[in-house]
Amino acid sequence: MTPLVPLAGTAGCEAAACVLFGAIDLADNGILVLDRGGLVVCWNAWMVRHTGLSAEQVAGRALPELFGPALSARVMAAVRNCLDHSRSHILSPSLNRQPFPLTMPGEFAERGEGIDQSVTLKPVPGVAGARFCLIQITDVSQATRRERFLRRQTTELSRAVEDLQAAKDLATRANIAKSEFLTDMSHELRSPLNAIIGFSQLLEMDQAGPLSDEQHEFVTYIHKAGDHLLKMITDILDLSKIEAKRLTLEIGEIEVDRFIHDAIKGVGGLSHTRGIAIEYAAGERPDLSIRADRTRLAQILMNLLANAIKYNRANGRVTVGVAVPLPGWVRIAVADTGPGIPLERQGELFQSFNRLGAEFGAIEGAGLGLALSRKLAELMGGAIGFRSRPGEGSTFWIDMPSAASAAAVADEPGEEESGTALPALPPLTLLYIEDNPVDLRLVEALFQAIATVRLVTARNGEEGVRLAWEQRPDIILMDIFLPGFNGFEVLARLRADPQTRTTPVVAISASALPADVARGLGAGFHKWLSKPLDIVELLTVLANLVKNCRPAPAPPPAGL
Amino acid sequence: MISTLDLRPEVRDALTEIFNIGIGHAAGVLSELVNDEILLTVPELGVTPRADFVATAGALWTEPASIVRQSFQGPFRGDALLIFPARESLELVRALLAEPSPLETMSELEREALLEVGNIILNACLSCIADLLEQEITNALPLYLESDPATLVKALITDPDWYVIFLRIDFTVKRQNMRGNILFVLDVPAVTAFGAAVEKLVDHFESGP
């Protein structure tokens, strides 16, 4: 061994050796020394604790003798290399987990897991050519346990991430399937609604002979329920389109004053029925205009107005106001005099299908309006907010970015003729191509009562084209999904023939998807009406087509 | 004192063979340890003066490396270095371990395993040199470093008369091939003894069997 230097406070080498051995005993590692022959000459207290063998028991004995076959062969190979060739060695815990059979003190060897070790062997020259092998053993059980735990956690975590990804993919696919299903359903539901709404409109107009007051009332219920169902279908479809990110917007400038004025007119019927007055100082801010999609913004405002009317008190009041809450923004606010929303339920307000206490009441709705409105407003870069105090009423508002310049607002031309009075039609021949017998019957019933209109009908595209050439109708109405030639093919044939090239053709389809409408108008249909048919709209379209496309020489005869 | 070691091809081949025998022994120990076949070969060897080596070292390693360093002493002083590109050392240790870690960086225990692998390989090579020089060389415990090898070598060799023995080693484990380097940095007495040993080899060739 290295000659010991006398230490301060000790008397010579012997005392110094005592201090050193004391230090070796104190170490929190196993330390043992083998002589040139591989026999134990030093064995510290840690080794005693972890082997149960005292220094006296091990002195002068070789390691295989002490540990038997439980001692790793690699330890002995390293010991020999150290003593014979002066090589230092390291035995790492991952490659040799437990080179020495050691246990924690107090643990039964057969029960204990043993100690994971990191072992180093170092040759130490002695005097007169002697050589020793110094072995140090470090307990790394904690580190290996920690690493095993970490490995398990990481593996589980990455498996969980994979599972989540799979679940997300599944949900995405399911959501797309749901959207497609809703789109299909909306189309399928529109067809029967065409019969319900169409015929109830005819009955309301007394087209099939006068009804009793009670019959009239019942028919009105059927009509309203049909309208309500249609609105819900449209809302559900809109929501699913927003979720599937398939809703396209046409952002343009909108003159606020006129826009509000039109929206109020749109809910005029409802406010009249409910006896709610709508107050709006029209023309107050003629200078303000905003950027939004006109149709979608109208949808939001009409929804807020309808809510304000429906959730109002008897003889209540709705006040519409315009303000500039921040530079660059315009706020349209709708205040009611209703009961207000309880504080604890205000958080649920914008959730789909949430009707806040109206679930079992007389107020109709599916609870989609506000959820849809918020999503639409956000899509257009705006926001919806509200303030409500129970007993005092609620105020809802839309904030939209203002348009750069209020001037030069090219407002859409007014929706031509509109109103509740049925427009009069000059004498004309109509061809209606439709395979659905109920839809056909509806239009036949409508024009039975209009003496000026001669209606010719065809059940398929081929017959339609033939009749168009034979009868020379003034206007052609046409379904799109026809047996044989579809609506687009029929249109192409009509356009290819000089006799029918300029005849206005109106599509009447159960599809109301903007893409279909755009495709139809692009193909050359003059108008695209969606089922369920609004009879007033149909008559208005016909009247406008007659006026615009064929300068009517004859004075309009008496209408209906 | 030799100033250059312009090795004749047959001497270079003989030296390479000597190291291949030693490193083959290390491969046997490793194979037993991981219970899988491990192949180690030395396909290339060179002996270069310090100045020449330092001048070319920069181009030799372009990325950080995992290094196992073992200093040795006895009649000679010097350093033995096993160098693997950091990425390859991670692949190597993961190929060797039964339970490789899923983490992106080397864990503490994996580092220690790499240290043991380096220790086995470097010990085998040191024994070759010791046998060649017919001297006993005592080595210190291995140390693990992550560093730029060129900078490390420059810092280790300050004496212009020192030499570098440069070995390329190919490592094959579980059908994966990895490539590393071993460097022996030798002090003046070691180089002198090495030169004498090489001359003996030359004599052996010239006298012929």
Q: What is the pLDDT of residues A89-121, one digit of tens each?
A: 999 998 887 899 988 766 554 555 788 999 999
B107 touching chain A per CB within 8 A: yes
Cα separation of A144 and A49, whole Å?
21
Does residue A454 contact residue A429 with C-beta atoms inside 8 Å? yes
Across the interface, do B102 and A154 touch by the CB < 8 Å criterion?
A: yes
In eight-state DSSP terms, residue A402 is B
Across the interface, do A87 and B123 touch by the CB < 8 Å criterion?
A: yes
Residues in B closer than 8 angstroms to A74, CB to CB, are 33
Residues in B closer than 8 angstroms to A140, CB to CB, are 109
The pLDDT, as a whole number, for residue A415 is 42
Residues in B closer than 8 angstroms to A125, CB to CB, are 138
How confident is the model over A161-166, as a mean pLDDT? 94
Nearest-by-Cβ selection for A92 from B113, B123, B127: B113
Terminal alpha carbon distance of chain A = 126
Please report which residue ranges of A70-140 form alpha helices under DSSP H: 73-85
Please report which residue ranges of chain B form alpha helices under DSSP H: 9-34, 50-60, 86-96, 108-133, 149-156, 188-207
Query: How high is the ipTM of this complex?
Result: 0.85
The pLDDT, as a whole number, for residue A504 is 92
- Count of residues in chain A: 560
B79 touching chain A per CB within 8 A: no
pLDDT digits (tens, 9 = 90+) for A131-149: 899 999 999 988 888 888 8
Q: How confident is the model at residue A560 (pLDDT cuts 50, 70, 90)?
A: very low
Across the interface, do B102 and A155 touch by the CB < 8 Å criterion?
A: yes
Say which residue the tokens 């997300």 belong to.
A168
Across the interface, do B127 and A140 touch by the CB < 8 Å criterion?
A: no
How confident is the model over A519-535, as a mean pLDDT? 87
Across the interface, do B102 and A151 touch by the CB < 8 Å criterion?
A: yes
Cα separation of A351 and A372, whole Å?
9
How confident is the model over B117-146, as a mean pLDDT? 89
Residues in B closer than 8 angstroms to A120, CB to CB, are 141
pLDDT digits (tens, 9 = 90+) for B8-36: 777 788 888 888 888 888 998 888 888 88
Residue of chain A minimizing CA distance to B110 = A94
Across the interface, do B70 and A88 touch by the CB < 8 Å criterion?
A: yes
CA–CA distances in Å: residue A169 to residues A175, A183, A241, A246, A270: 10, 21, 19, 18, 45
B142 touching chain A per CB within 8 A: yes
Across the interface, do A95 and B136 touch by the CB < 8 Å criterion?
A: no
How confident is the model over B150-168, as a mean pLDDT? 84
The pLDDT, as a whole number, for residue A29 is 94
Residues in A closer than 8 angstroms to B113, CB to CB, are 92, 94-95
In eight-state DSSP terms, residue A245 is T
Lowest average pLDDT, out of A291-305, A356-370, A396-410, goes to A356-370
A154 touching chain B per CB within 8 A: yes
Burial class (CB in 10 A: 0-12, 13-18, 19+), A475: buried
Say which residue the tokens 């062997």 belong to.
A121
Lowest average pLDDT, out of A183-187, A519-523, B54-58, goes to A183-187
Q: Buried (b) or exposed (e) across A17-31, using 16+ Cβ within 10 A?
A: eeeeeeebeeeebbb
Q: Which of A70-74, A172-176, B192-196 has the highest mean pLDDT?
A: A70-74
Q: What is the pTM assigned to this prediction? A: 0.56
User: In the beta sheet, which residues pair with residue A34?
Assistant: A40, A133
Cα separation of A488 and A86, whole Å?
95
Residues in A closer than 8 angstroms to B96, CB to CB, are 95
Residues in A closer than 8 angstroms to B119, CB to CB, are 88-90
CA–CA distances in Å: residue B133 to residues A201, B186, B192, B197: 113, 12, 10, 6
Residue of chain B minimizing CA distance to A74 = B33
Q: How confident is the model at residue A283 (pLDDT cuts 50, 70, 90)?
A: low
Across the beta sheet with A117-125, the strand order is A40-43, A30-34, A131-139, A117-125, A89-91
Across the interface, do A147 and B107 touch by the CB < 8 Å criterion?
A: yes
A19 touching chain B per CB within 8 A: no
Q: Which two tokens stand for residue A506?
A: 């109106």
Across the interface, do A90 and B116 touch by the CB < 8 Å criterion?
A: yes
In eight-state DSSP terms, residue A287 is T
How confident is the model over A377-394, as a mean pLDDT? 88
Cα separation of B46 and B18, whole Å?
13
CA–CA distances in Å: residue A93 to residues A34, A46, A99, A155, B116: 22, 19, 8, 21, 10
In eight-state DSSP terms, residue A513 is -
Question: How many helices (H) and strands (E) would you count in chain B?
Answer: 6, 7
Residues in A closer than 8 angstroms to B126, CB to CB, are 87
Across the interface, do A95 and B113 touch by the CB < 8 Å criterion?
A: yes
Nearest-by-Cβ selection for A92 from B74, B115, B123: B115
Cα separation of B116 and A93, whole Å?
10
Residue of chain A minimizing CA distance to B136 = A85
Sign of CA dihedral A222, A224, A228, A234: positive
CA–CA distances in Å: residue A438 to residues A30, A195, A196, A435, A481: 97, 7, 10, 9, 15
Cα separation of B107 and A142, whole Å?
14
Residue of chain A minimizing CA distance to B30 = A95
Higher pLDDT among residues A329 and A12, named by residue: A329
CA distance B35 to chain A (A): 10
Across the interface, do A123 and B74 touch by the CB < 8 Å criterion?
A: no
The pLDDT, as a whole number, for residue A301 is 92
**Amino acid in position B116:** E
Higher pLDDT among residues A83 and A391, named by residue: A83
Lowest average pLDDT, out of A53-67, A244-258, A349-363, goes to A349-363
The whole-chain average pLDDT of chain B stands at 83
The pLDDT, as a whole number, for residue A355 is 57
Higher pLDDT among residues B75 and A37, named by residue: A37
Across the interface, do B97 and A158 touch by the CB < 8 Å criterion?
A: no
Collapsing DSSP to helix, strand or coil, A26 comes out as helix
B74 touching chain A per CB within 8 A: yes
Cα separation of A261 and A74, whole Å?
94
The pLDDT, as a whole number, for residue A106 is 61
Lowest average pLDDT, out of A497-506, A547-556, B185-194, goes to A547-556
Residue of chain B minimizing CA distance to A155 = B102
Q: Which helix (H) or strand (E) holds A400?
A: strand A393-401
B104 touching chain A per CB within 8 A: no
The pLDDT, as a whole number, for residue A281 is 77
Cα separation of A188 and A197, whole Å?
15
Cα separation of A353 and A359, whole Å?
9
Cα separation of B116 and A100, whole Å?
17
**Amino acid in position B120:** I
CA distance A243 to chain B (A): 37
Residues in B closer than 8 angstroms to A92, CB to CB, are 109, 112-113, 115-116
Across the interface, do A86 and B113 touch by the CB < 8 Å criterion?
A: no
Judge whether residue B169 has pLDDT over 60. Answer: yes
- Taking only residues 120 to 149 of chain A, the set having a beta carbon closer than 8 angstroms to any beta carbon of chain B reads 120, 122-123, 125, 140, 143-144, 147-148
Residues in A closer than 8 angstroms to B173, CB to CB, are none
Nearest-by-Cβ selection for B138 from A86, A150, A154: A86
Percentage of residues in chain A with pLDDT exceeding 90? 30
pLDDT digits (tens, 9 = 90+) for A432-451: 999 888 888 888 888 887 88
Burial class (CB in 10 A: 0-12, 13-18, 19+), A274: middle
- Count of residues in chain B: 209
Judge whether residue B70 has pLDDT over 90. Answer: yes
